[in-house]
Each structure stands twice: as C-alpha cells, then as structure tokens.
Chains A and B, each alone.
Chain A
Amino acid sequence: MTATPLFEARHIHKRFGDQVVLEEINLAFMQGELCGIMGPNGAGKTTCFNVLTGHYKPDRGQVIFDGEDITGLPPRVIAQKGVSRSFQLINLFDEYTALENVLIAVPQVRDRGYNMIRDVEKDNVAIDQAVSVLKQVGLNGKELEPSKRLSYGDRRALEIAVALATEPRILFLDEPTSGMGSNIMGRLADLVRELKCHYTMVIIEHDMKFLFDLADRISVVHWGQVIAEGTPDELRANKWVQASNLGKLV
C-alpha cells in the first residue's frame, strides 16, 4: 500500500478563452516533502499554483487536500485549511511595517478579525509569534521598518514570512528567487533548507541549480502538462529533460 499524498491535483484542465493553459495536470505532494515545479516561461506553472490555491477554478479536474476535495473553493477558505502561498511578484501590505505584515497573517489575529473592541497592539502572544516568524526568515531587527522601505531581498523574505505566519500545513512558494542576484540567493537557499525540516513545501523555480540542490522530487511542466517527474538524479538522466534546454543547465 502506498501512502496517500497530503495534497493532490488530478486531471486539472484550465483554459482562458481558446487558449489551453493547463491540460491534464497530475501532481501529488507527500507529507514532509519538498517538491519542485520547473519549466520554461509560459509553461503554466503559476497558473497551476493559482488553480491549486483557489485563485482560479479549474475547468476540469480535482484538487484534494488531506483527503478533502477543495476544488473551486475561494482562496480564503483554502488558506484557512492550512494551504499557504507566496507570490512571484511581491505582494505585501506596503504601508504596514514588516511586523504588521506578519501579524495580520497570524491565525490568532485572523480568528479575532471581526473583533472591533480589542486592542490588537497589546496582543503580546500574537506579536511574539510574529516576531519569531520574522526572526526565522532573518528579518529580526527590522520589525518596525515599513515594508516598502526594505531592500528587495528583505521583501522577498517578508513575502515568505507572511505565508509562514499563517501556520500552514503545506507551503507553496512561487519563484522565491525571482529577481534576485546570486549574492542573496545563498541566503534564500539556507532559509528554504531550514524550512524544509518543518514544512511540506512546493516550490516553482526558474533557477535549476537552486531546485536540484534542495528538492526531494521535481515535476517538469511544459505545454500545460507534466512531461517528466522524479528525483533530481532521475531527472538528470531523463531523455526529455536532456533534450530540452533544461538539461543543459543541470
């Protein structure tokens, strides 16, 4: 008997107008795994994430999380169930400080979201939790910095911190290294390696080296389909991957 995956996408189809973007996507992520999704620009990777996290509804197919069908549920409901994601283009609360960005995502604050009387800034338990999430991504000391004034690398880290603060059971990161120079990439690789011990993660990535170093399993998406799947070693030997540009990079 094989173990059931924590998160599964079955036969996902998605089209925009007459353009088919995803065609028969099947993915399965096991508890504790770090899975990578790679593929060229326009392969449908981000659309795939958008379907899995509820931003788009698939035209056909099912999304299963922890045995429950979550297909077509709105993002907030999927998020409340413990599916969290970051974005390729930084997507923060720009006027808020780093701390406020994270604080608002802490489930304890979220559960009290309709409370109109309590003083949010005296909620020490939630604040301590937010501070520790910031520390986890290396933003300690920058808690009170407005997020728009942080450096690009710090903003990328905060992007992940907001997703982390929701106490996810599975974490989707959409191109966390997007726009980063190689000098700060190392810091992010360390962070992901550290998070890997605690979270089930799925990462879309452009940077092949980054992914091959970190991922347990990788799925290659091209033309809206999963064209290859396996461990980094298996993929290195795969003729599809070798024949494509991707092979030359790894």
Chain B
Amino acid sequence: MADIGARIGRWVTVEMLIAFAVLVTAPFWIEAVGLYQYLGVEVLIWMIYALGFNLLLGYTGKPSFGHGAYFGIGAYAFGLAQHHVMTNIWLGIAFAILAAGVAGAMVATFISHRRGIYFALMTIAFGQVFWFTAVKWHAVTGGEDGLQNIPRPDVFSISLKENEALYYFALVFFCIVVIALWRLIHSPFGKVIKAIKQNEMRAGFIGYNVRLFKFLVFTISAGIAGLAGGLFAMAQGSAYPDVMSLQVSGLVVMMTLIGGGFVSFWGPVLGTIIFFVARDILGALTETWLLWYGLMFIVVVLFKPEGLAGIWQDLTRSRRSRKESVEASPLPSLRR
C-alpha cells in the first residue's frame, strides 16, 4: 500500500488535491459570491498560461516580455484549424500547442545563448514582430478585427456551448498542466533549469548544455501558452491581436510576480486569481482599477518581491522549526 501511495505521491500532492477540489466545485458557488461562470473559464485559461510562463521566469530565471505572442498564436491556430481544416476540438488544441511551440522554438533558437537584459529585449522584439504580423496580415488573421466566429466544437458529443461545460473542459487541461509541470520541476531536468537560473556559467562548467536547456524550456513554455490561447479562442469565440501586445504580455508577468512565482509553484495560480478578482471587484467600483492594481504591483515588488506566496511562506515557516523542515526533507539517504 505504502508503495502505491508513494507512487501516486510522485504525481499528485495534497496541495493539488485541494486546488482541484476547490476548482471542481467553483461553478456551484461562483455565482453565490457575486461572480459569474465565464470568469471561471477565463481564470483557468490564464492560470494555465501563467503556470507555463513561470517555468521560464520563476524556475529558469529568464524573463519573457513578449509571451503574449505564443498565447495569440495558439488562439489563431485554433481558429484557423476550425475554419480551414475541420471543426474538431482535438485538432484545434493540437494545432494551438504545436503552432505556439514551433514559434517558441524558432525564437528560442535566436535567443537561448543570450543572458539577462539581452534575452529580455529579444523576447520583446520577437513578441512585437508576431503582434505586428497579426495586425497586418489581414488575409490570414483578419487584421485588427481578428478571426471571428470561432466555434466551440463538441467533446465526445458533449456540447461546450455553456460556460460551465467549457469550464470543466479547461479544468481537465489545467490539471494535466499542473501535474506535468510539478513532475517536470522535480525531475533531473527541473533541477538543472533551477541551477541554470542560479549560475549559468557554472552549469556549463559542470557539463550542461545550458543553451539547449533554455531552448527546451522556452519551447515548452510557449507550447503551454499556445494551449491556453487555443482555449481562449474557444472561450471568446474569436482570436484577436490585442492579447499579443506588449501591454497584455506584461499582465502575465505581473500575475506571476504578484502571486510569487519565484518562490512557489502555486504563485502564478494565486496571482491570476488576484488579478481577475481585482479586475472585477475594483473594476466595478472604479474605472481606474488598473491604476490601483499597478500600485499594488509596485508595493509587492518593493516590499515583498517574493509575492503573496512569499508572505504565506513567512507566516507558515515561523510556526515550523528548522529542525522539522530538515526532517521533512525528501532525502532518504540522509534520514537513515
């Protein structure tokens, strides 16, 4: 039994089960707390996007300020597949992931040997190229109006026309992304990318192909953004260049940082919730909600760069002594 437990524990944690449980029940209480079903869909999509983004920012330490490009490419790819190939949800999702992954791989080829500010600037430059292409290439993207009338195809003859249904469809992908990323960051690959974040040079000197690791992370992260984009195209029924702009690309950075992506796996998830709740609650009170959100961002960056997850860790850590944390450490050969 213990063996089976351990085997499941490699893939699913208690935190995950809590998160999944909360999200599974969300459609039943979301309206009771004054929100609406569609918001749940949007939040889930951006959580997927932010989790993938954090693999790059939080775990590999590489900022991308043009990640909206891959989200947008995913959305367009989904729409184009529905319009020009066939109306099939799996085909659309596969196209979205693939197109964004390929675009990410192309960009990564050019930037993965760069570091610091040069890496960041190149992500902006490429992001702008994709955004501009989307705005100008009317024949394919529909220009500034975007692609309209993107359908929500059925899943195994279950209709996704209702937002609740789409919510559960997105939730499945959210769970897959959470489990896969959790496994990835606890694998040797994850250990290496965290080492690269801390010291790229030394990682090279102990024999790692730093460039290839950065390339892979960027591509995976872009692919996940593409998945989120594909779901977004379904949710919105359209794909448009706005999500690819520098401004909207910045939102995912803010969500990840406010939530605490640098110190916690769940940081991006928290940050996404905060953003959308702030948008809806502050937005109902004032038109200048983004100003208040921006101020909150400044306060977090100035006083608690580790974000909400960092605050949470400070609160819980004070209750746990260091000795306990050593004993809880997952290193069997030391506890023997």
Residues of chain A touching chain B, judged by Cβ–Cβ distance below 8 Å, are 53, 55, 74-76, 79-80, 84-85, 87, 91-96, 99-100, 103-105, 107, 109-110, 112-124, 127-128, 131, 143-144, 162-163, 165-166
Contacts and interface: CB of A to CB of B under 8 A. Distances in A.
A109 B334 contact: no
Contacts of A163: 206
B195 A104 contact: yes
Nearest to A144: B326
A110 B207 CA distance: 7
Interface string B80-123: 00000000000000000000000000000000000000000000
A100 B203 CA distance: 13
A117 B207 contact: no
A96 B332 contact: no
B13 to A, nearest CB: 13
A121 B202 contact: no
Given A115-B187, A119-B186, A127 B331 contact: yes
B286 interface: no
Nearest to B199: A93
Contacts of B194: 93, 95-96
Interface string B204-238: 11111110010010000000000000000000000
Contact of B202 (A91, A100, A131): A91
Given A96-B198, A116-B189, A144 B331 contact: yes
A79 B210 CA distance: 13
16 contacts: A84-B206, A87-B202, A91-B199, A91-B205, A92-B199, A104-B195, A109-B188, A109-B191, A113-B208, A114-B189, A117-B187, A118-B188, A121-B331, A127-B332, A127-B334, A166-B207
Ranked 8 nearest A-B pairs via Cβ: A79-B207, A93-B198, A105-B206, A112-B188, A121-B330, A116-B189, A80-B207, A116-B184
B208 A110 contact: yes
Nearest to A109: B188
Contacts of A122: 330, 332
A143 to B, nearest CB: 6
Contact of B192 (A91, A92, A104, A143): A104
Interface of B: 10, 183-184, 186-192, 194-195, 198-199, 201-210, 213, 216, 326, 329-334
Contact of B183 (A114, A117, A124, A131): A117
Contacts of A95: 194, 198
Nearest to A102: B206
A123 B270 CA distance: 32
B208 A76 contact: yes
Given A95-B198, A96-B195, A144-B334, A113 B188 contact: yes
B333 A79 contact: no
Contacts, number: 112
Given A74-B204, A91-B205, 10 more contacts: A91-B201, A100-B191, A104-B206, A110-B208, A113-B189, A114-B188, A119-B10, A124-B332, A144-B326, A144-B334
Contacts of A76: 204-205, 207-210
Contacts of B198: 93-96
A98 to B, nearest CB: 11
A53 B331 contact: no
Contact of A79 (B187, B206, B332): B206
Contacts of A165: 206
A99 B331 contact: yes
Nearest to A111: B188
Most buried by B among A55, A103, A116, A118: A116
B105 to A, nearest CB: 16
Contacts of B207: 76, 79-80, 105, 107, 110, 166
A110 B334 contact: no
Contacts of A114: 188-189, 216
B187 A116 contact: yes
Contacts of A123: 188
B189 A110 contact: no
Nearest to A82: B207
B204 A119 contact: no
A91 B201 CA distance: 8
Nearest to B334: A143
Contacts of B191: 100, 103-104, 109, 120
Given A93-B198, A109-B188, A79 B334 contact: no
A144 B333 contact: no
A84 to B, nearest CB: 8
A84 B202 CA distance: 11
Contacts of A79: 204-207
Contact of A85 (B10, B205, B213, B334): B205
B193 to A, nearest CB: 10
Contact of A115 (B189, B201, B208, B332): B189
A124 B186 contact: no
